[in-house]
Amino acid sequence: MRRFLPVALSALFLVTLVAGCGDQGESSTDGEGGNTYEITMTSFDNASTVACQLGTKFADLVSEKSDGRIQINFHTDATLGNETEQYDLIKSGEIQICYFADSFGSQIASGYDPTIIPFLFTSIEDVEAVFDSPLGEAIENAAYENGNVRLLGLSRRSPRLLTASKEITSPEELEGLKLRVPEIQAWVTVWNSMGANCTVVSWSETYSALQTGVVDGQENPIDNIYANKIYEVNKYIMQTEHLQSVNHWCVNADFWDAMDPADQEILTSCFQEAADWANGALDELNEQYMEEILADGTVSFVPVDKALFQEAAASGIEAVKETLQPEAQEYIEDYLAG
């Protein structure tokens, strides 16, 4: 995966920063030491997830390598809002850094990002290759135009797994399953095409929706299943790995463009170091999550024939493809043909 180094587009000027959500303050210059910054960074995830561990390491590295000039205040557990609310906050500059999962492609870079389509890409390397291609540049440009953000970098997520109140070993057994999904139309389209009955439920309400039978199943990476104790209310975890995905770490464009290039380099290099650590630790952490879930004694991990599920999703993938921009459609066609 290439390293993302967004280019400053404006002349350098005194940076207006956020010391806390909604509290405006200015950077200061201390002579040879350079500007000082207090940055607000947020996450909608549980603090124990891999992404939040990455964020904590990133903040520590930035403080260390800037000799304390650049401080990142990291707020986890949606304390400053859910993913949708954080989108509004970073677009306006009330926060400076956050990451988006699949809502990045469905909302911020809408129409350009094929990596949001379930059952399409079969490896994380194939997903990262999208961002290394000319289409990746189009995705980044769309994010800037639509969301006023620049892409600081990517970090790997665990593949998404299907969980349910019953064992599902074949696509036919999805028929009539009341499946919780977030508000991502591509997901609704693909899962419904396979026979599921999708219901949009906010993440904060998913546990109770499963517990009360409003929905029968949901899908998420293993760390989210573990951290949010989904296995307590869904005893079957299908190893579908239907979405290989990344977190898109974004920085407010106005804030970024006003930074000194040397300070931009501190952020990008520290992020890459933290992301490399998190990517390397991901498999081991996932094994730990699985072991702790299995220790519950009532949960089953169910292997499936992923090729059968991908074949069953073909019509839904095609339907989503037709909603994308021509360059994204062409990328999908070439990928499937190759």
Q: How much is the average pLDDT of 186-215?
A: 97
More confident call, 27 vs 102: 102
For residue 57, the model assigns a pLDDT of: 98
Label residue 49 by pLDDT band (50, 70, 90).
confident
* 56: pLDDT strictly greater than 70: yes
Hunting for tokens 């650590």 — which residue is that? Answer: 277
Q: Domains in the chain and their CATH numbers?
A: 16-157+245-285 (3.40.190.170), 160-244+288-337 (3.40.190.170)
Hunting for tokens 């909302």 — which residue is that? Answer: 107
Indicate the helix (H) or strand (E) that contains 23.
strand 23-26
| Contacts of residue 290, Cβ cutoff 8 Å, sequence gap at least 6 | 222, 301
Label residue 14 by pLDDT band (50, 70, 90).
very low
CA distance 256 to 190: 36
* 266: pLDDT strictly greater than 80: yes
CA distance 234 to 299: 8
SS3 content of the chain, % helix, strand, coil (to 5): 45, 20, 30
For residue 242, the model assigns a pLDDT of: 98
* 300: pLDDT strictly greater than 60: yes
The number of residues making up the chain comes to 338
pLDDT > 70: percent of the chain? 90
Q: What is the number of alpha carbons within 13 Å of residue 30 lying toward its C-beta?
A: 8
Q: What is the largest CA-CA distance in the chain?
A: 67
Report the 3 state secondary structure along 171-221. HHHHCCCEEEECCCHHHHHHHHHCCCEEEECCHHHHHHHHHHCCCCEEEEE
How many angstroms separate the Cα of 70 from the Cα of each of 5, 41, 66, 263, 267? 18, 12, 6, 8, 9
More confident call, 119 vs 107: 119
Which segment of 1-10, 120-129, 164-173 scores lowest on mean pLDDT? Answer: 1-10
CA distance 183 to 202: 8
Phi, psi (deg, nearest 5) at residue 27: -70, 160
How confident is the model over 58-100, as pLDDT tens digits? 999 999 999 999 999 999 999 999 888 999 999 999 999 999 9
Q: What is the number of alpha carbons within 13 Å of residue 180 lying toward its C-beta?
A: 26
pLDDT > 90: percent of the chain? 83
Q: Which pair of tokens denotes residue 318?
A: 């095609």
Which segment of 133-137, 167-171, 280-284 scores lowest on mean pLDDT? Answer: 280-284
How confident is the model over 117-166, as pLDDT tens digits? 999 999 999 999 999 999 999 999 999 999 999 999 999 999 999 999 99
List, as one string, the DSSP characters of 52-101: HHHHHHHHHHHHHHTTTSEEEEEE-TTTT--HHHHHHHHHHTSSSEEEES
CA distance 23 to 37: 13
Chain CA centroid to CA 329, Å: 22
Label residue 8 by pLDDT band (50, 70, 90).
very low
* Helix, strand or coil, per DSSP, at residue 300: strand
Q: How much is the average pLDDT of 19-23?
A: 38
Label residue 29 by pLDDT band (50, 70, 90).
low
For residue 13, the model assigns a pLDDT of: 27
